[in-house]
Structure 1
Amino acid sequence: MRNDPIALKAVDFFCSGGGMSHGMQKAGIKILAGIDYDSTCKETYEANIKGAEFIHADVFEYKETELEEKLNLQRNDDNLVMIGCSPCQFWSNINTKKQKSEKSKDLLKEFQRFVEYFMPGYVVVENVPGVFKKKEESGLQDFINWLKEDKKYNVHCKIHEVSNYGVPQHRKRFTLIANRITDKELSPVRVIGEKVKVKDVIGELNGFPTINPGHNDLSDFMHTTAGLSEINLKRLSVTPKDGGTRMSYVFDKELAPKCHYGNTTGFKDIYGRMWWDKPAPTITTKFFSFSNGRFAHPEEDRAISLREGAVLQSFPKDYIFKTSSIVNTARMIGNAVPPKYAEAIGKSIIKNHMNGAV
């Protein structure tokens, strides 16, 4: 039945470690499968997204009929949600090696191929704002035009701030929700009330004991933090607690990096501490290194741990990351769709499916 939310099911393209799948599942949508080219995601995905299958496939080579047969999918299924959160390095505002990510810029076009074939009830795309700002180059404009053509889908297309949706972090994300079931434009369901802050999710009161730089937690909790050089320890020791920055030693020739010495106008977040009473800055793939942003703990002299980065991305504390190193774990966490934000998208789809109104 179209108005039965239990019947909603989703396939998550470019699923990685399952941030989007987890949020959608939490909202009440059944996840059939996650698809990703990176086989190292398989263990993490299957450990957390219960009942879903991990499909290791290159979307450039994978055929629509293969997916149809593997999952026994039906075309024009009102209850099907197709999600495409392709890797975003090429379109990111953050400095990345564009050549390395050149192939990823066309992933949206490959996802469109599956949408055109299956014509699902709902389509979700979540990505960096650069995909929207460069929508002609990214292929997004062509995709939107096709979705809207002959009024096939009602399309919501906007950049959202995820801290408005229960994520304890400032992060802008482009989101498209296309709906052919009703004439409604669907938006993620906002969380009413104050934003979730750093103090609400990390710190001793939230189950994070004090640790030193270089602490290695071998349990699934992964309260592991990178080591610090002697000079960086000195820098942190003079950085004020709760939001302090490199400005505290900008004129100190011993402590200030040469490129920062005397510079009071450059990036102040680098080498900075988080504030307790604000959402965290954007959790990137380098959040384990305090020299890459405002990633130092609000009061302890260290960068935030892997688990702290995960909860600031809104992963639950019992989410299991099956990875081989700090770098790989941080990459999976930093690249993820914040699950709370994914849940807000899922809730909008469920409400629409039940009564046609959000």
Structure 2
Amino acid sequence: MKNKHLKAVDFFCGGGGMSYGMQRAGVKMLAGIDYEMSCKETYETNISEAEFIHADVFELREQDLEHRLGLEKHDDSLILIGCSPCQYWSVINTKKEKSEKSKSLLTEFSRFVGYFMPGYVVVENVPGIRSRQQESGLDVFIEKLESWGYTVHAEIHDTKHYGVPQSRKRFTLIANRISADKLEPVPHQGKILTVRDVLGEENGFPKIPAGHQDATERMHSCAGLSAINLKRIRLVPKDGGNRLAFAHRPDLQLKCFIGKDESFKDTFGRLWWDKPSPTITTKFFSISNGRFVHPEEDRALSLREGATLQSFPGEYVFKARGREKIARLIGNAVPPMYAEKIGRAIVDNFKRINKTH
């Protein structure tokens, strides 16, 4: 226990949601590693003193990382975090051939865990990684961790119970080598946050029309809508209405939905004010990709509204260019508030163990 300060390396760091939350919990972030160069500016802007390492984890060598960051093996104060891209295991219909390579990322991450044997290991991903754990390599990864002496918590949690105003089910693994305690994210004390708690004029989101562009770093900008889509969502009842409101209008009903009133009901749907938002995906700026219509304004969510529902603070700056790239950084992120609750579990454990030594 010679080093009393927790530090972490965030593999597949993206725009920094996990790193930011860990930092808020009191962990020093050493570096974020990602193959996507478009993450670099956002990561370095928001994660103080951390280095962004542009690397393909399939080609990154353990010794190179060791020397670059000055890491030590068997360091009880080191946390290795691996929140690999999850498109392959997602229930959302994505092109699996594009994400085929990503399904082996957990295996690559385990290489670094086995080499460094850090005090703590964190993995966060979609629930599908567990329901298909043989194919994803999760079962082998957990077996390895246990054989190396780690105590492993591996469960599915809904972020709405951890201070995030969004219902988002995530697989979360926290493993620790320094105690027999099963660590899990620290639950939020207080009410479950809803859309009303964080969005709306009283929370600093002035009313805007579809297509509004905000040139400031606040990014309260939203996508434009065609005339026919504006007609459609004007008919959708405020506060949780769905597309069935125009299903019997031949001039407005989409051909793909004819006879499918019970399918895809969230498409063109409005958020509810008094519930957490549904899962914020990388397409949250589009009304045809889920329940992403504002509860009462006739438009999709703005970029900043999506980030707020992901629990990013107002001062978090997204540096990518173009709406799609920014929305991807936001939708793919680990909600920072949830990451902070994971970090707090580790920090509390580390402090307790240090006190007894």
> For residues 93 and 260 of structure 1, what CA distance do their matches in structure 2 show?
20
Aligned to 1:118: 116
Aligned to 1:137: 135
SS at match of 2:215: coil
Instruction: Choose from 176, 182, 199 the match for 2:173.
Output: 176
**Residue 98 (structure 1) shift:** 0.6
CA RMSD of aligned residues (A): 1.2
> For residues 106 and 260 of structure 2, what CA distance do their matches in structure 1 show?
41
The residue type paired with residue 169 of structure 2 is K
SS at match of 1:192: coil
Per-residue Cα deviation, 1:328-357 (whole angstroms, up to 9, x for no partner): 111110000000110000000011111149
| Structure 2 residue runs without a partner (length 5+) | none
> For residues 271 and 154 of structure 1, what CA distance do their matches in structure 2 show?
44
The residue type paired with residue 239 of structure 2 is D
SS at match of 1:46: helix
> For residues 263 and 172 of structure 2, what CA distance do their matches in structure 1 show?
31
Query: Which 10-residue stretch deviates more, 302-311 or 247-256?
Result: 247-256
> For residues 288 and 267 of structure 2, what CA distance do their matches in structure 1 show?
6
Aligned to 2:195: 198
Q: Count residues in correspondence.
A: 354
> For residues 93 and 266 of structure 1, what CA distance do their matches in structure 2 show?
15
Aligned to 2:220: 223
Please show how residues 158-173 of structure 1 align to structure 2 within 5 Å.
Answer: 158-173=155-170
Query: Which 10-residue stretch deviates more, 260-269 or 56-65?
Result: 260-269
Residue 96 (structure 1) aligned with residue 94 (structure 2): yes
The residue type paired with residue 57 of structure 1 is A
Residue 187 (structure 1) aligned with residue 178 (structure 2): no
Please show how residues 57-96 of structure 1 align to structure 2 within 5 Å.
Answer: 57-96=55-94
Residue 337 (structure 1) aligned with residue 334 (structure 2): yes
| Structure 1 residue runs without a partner (length 5+) | none
Instruction: Choose from 287, 291, 307 the match for 2:284.
Output: 287
Instruction: Choose from 268, 273, 296 the match for 2:270.
Output: 273
- TM-score with structure 1 length normalisation? 0.97
CA contact (8 A) 2:292 2:300 kept: yes
> For residues 253 and 170 of structure 1, what CA distance do their matches in structure 2 show?
34
SS at match of 1:100: helix
Please show how residues 14-33 of structure 1 align to structure 2 within 5 Å.
Answer: 14-33=12-31
Quick one: percent identity of the two aligned structures? 62
CA contact (8 A) 1:2 1:353 kept: no
Per-residue Cα deviation, 1:134-185 (whole angstroms, up to 9, x for no partner): 11001111110001116x1000000110100001001100000000111100
SS at match of 1:259: helix
SS at match of 1:32: strand
Per-residue Cα deviation, 1:278-297 (whole angstroms, up to 9, x for no partner): 00000001000011110000
SS at match of 1:273: coil
CA contact (8 A) 1:250 1:263 kept: no
Please show how residues 301-340 of structure 1 align to structure 2 within 5 Å.
Answer: 301-340=298-337
